[in-house]
Amino acid sequence: MRPSGFQGFGAGVIDFYLELEQHNTREWFTANRARYDSEIATPLKALSAELETYYAPIRVFRPYRNTRFWPELPPLNEHASLVGGSGEAAVWYLRVDADGLLISAGSWHPERQHLAHLRTVLASPAGASQAREVLAEAGAAGFSLEDEFALKTAPRGYSKDHPNIDLLRLRDFSLARHHQPGPWLTSPECLERITQDWQALSPWVSWLRSNIGSAQLN
């Protein structure tokens, strides 16, 4: 029986998600629900309790996708995830799947009015300087800024030659790092990595919240 408190994910977490990638059906999940509960759901509940003190509220995402919006996708998420500070414009996030553990924080596609205000801040020398200072510290700790969804050109109202055009083109303000799977994932070291990374990302969360305000997540 797994001890109380988060001791890491179950020993079969990676195998579970590797198999789910091959058998992503409700029938397979129902037949393997006990594995999911033991290896993933129960540890996630314990992890949430550990994180609640400093990162409340914690929101754990359900294993089922909302197929009303993505009817063409398989019915189950091929990962487990949760957020800390749920409901705010900037949050902490983690995801475990067959590739290991992803840890990130920030604001993923902020609402239009918040994005507009954030760009106003980043267009100013002082605002951009503050953002770059926080980003540099996070980069030194091993985190990368997600730029997959950045605009190809300047946003409306800004020159493509603006000195802070790299920041103004962003639409996703998340920092992330990936941890390859290993024995640590199923041991108390997992909690150490998560809390250390979330703590390192806290200045970025604070900076974003100060500059884009609060927004209810969908």
CATH number for the domain spanning 90: value is 3.30.930
Q: How far is CA 106 from CA 169, 172, 178, in A?
A: 16, 8, 15
Q: How far is CA 146 from CA 65, 135, 149, in A?
A: 23, 12, 8
Residues of the chain above pLDDT 90, percent: 87
Residue 46 inside a domain? The answer is yes
pLDDT tens readout for residues 12-53: 999 999 999 999 999 999 999 999 999 999 999 999 999 999
Mean pLDDT of the residues in the chain: 93
Residue 175 inside a domain? The answer is yes
Structural domain harbouring 49 = 13-210
Coil, helix or strand at residue 71: coil
Whether the predicted pLDDT of 216 surpasses 50: no
88-96 average pLDDT score: 96
Name 66's Cβ contacts closer than 8 Å, sequence gap at least 6: none
Whether the predicted pLDDT of 3 surpasses 50: no
Residue 3 inside a domain? The answer is no
Residue 186 inside a domain? The answer is yes
Tell me which of 69 and 83 has the higher pLDDT: 83
What local confidence, expressed as pLDDT, does residue 213 receive? 56
Residue 1 inside a domain? The answer is no
Residue 77 inside a domain? The answer is yes
What local confidence, expressed as pLDDT, does residue 217 receive? 33
Residue 53 inside a domain? The answer is yes
The domain tally of the chain equals 1
pLDDT band at 143 (very low <50, low <70, confident <90, very high): very high
At 76, the amino acid letter reads: L
Residue 52 inside a domain? The answer is yes
